[in-house]
Structure 1
Amino acid sequence: MPTVNISLQVLPRVKDERLYEVVDKVIEYIDSCGVKYEVGPMETTMEGEFEELIDIVKEAQKICIKEGASRVLSVVKIDYKPEGVTMDEKVGKYRK
């Protein structure tokens, strides 16, 4: 299966003072999965096999609820092409 990129933005419905705490739990989970990822100011982008990344997206919803969110709005972007796509090919030239 080709390498894909999936970007995930979770917006858990929690009190404002807990927002980053809950999002941090999701990022900790992503880190524990061993996939390549980059945290950005608005979303986290992951690189890997499609099914594995989709499973991470699904679990992220459950983590937010477990952490006290009454609802979770998530924005998911998928970049897929048959020969694969990497974060480096898209943004590598901008890194210093």
Structure 2
Amino acid sequence: MPTINVSFQVLPQVPGGDTYPVVDRAIAVVQQSGVKYEVGPMETTMEGELDELLEIVKRAQQACIDAGAKRVMTLVKIDYAPQGVTMEEKVGKYRHAAK
């Protein structure tokens, strides 16, 4: 199975409205998974095999519930190509630009 990219954003419904600690729990799931990832201000992007990445998204949703969210809406983007696709090929030229 090719290496692909999955980006996701969790939108937890939290009593009191303080969502950051709940989102942090979802990001911790990604960090502990061992896959290559990048956290952005609006979503987290991962690189790996589709089935594994979707399983991480499911665990991240559950982590939000476990952290006190009453409901979680999750937006998922999948960039799939049979030959594979990497984060580096998409944004590497911007990372290596002079500061």
What TM-score does the superposition give when structure 1 sets the normalisation length? 0.95
Which runs of at least 4 in structure 1 moved beyond 6 Å after TM superposition?
none
- In structure 2, give the amino acid aligned to 1:88: E
Specify every segment of 5 or more residues in structure 1 that has no aligned partner in the other structure, as ranges: none
What TM-score does the superposition give when structure 2 sets the normalisation length? 0.92
Task: Give the match's secondary structure for 2:73.
Answer: strand
What's the CA shift for 1:47? 0.2
- In structure 2, give the amino acid aligned to 1:66: D
Provide Cα deviations, 1:7-32, integer angstroms capped at 9, x if missing partner.
01001001322x11011111111110
Q: What is the aligned partner in structure 1 of residue 59 from structure 2? A: 59
Q: What is the aligned partner in structure 2 of residue 76 from structure 1? A: 76
CA distance in 1, matches of 2:92, 2:17: 34
CA distance in 2, matches of 1:5, 1:76: 10
Q: What is the aligned partner in structure 1 of residue 17 from structure 2? A: 16
Task: Give the match's secondary structure for 2:93.
Answer: helix
Identity score, percent: 64
RMSD: 0.8
Is the radius of gyration larger for structure 1 or structure 2? 2
Question: How many matched pairs?
Answer: 95
Q: What is the aligned partner in structure 1 of residue 37 from structure 2? A: 37
CA distance in 1, matches of 2:8, 2:39: 10
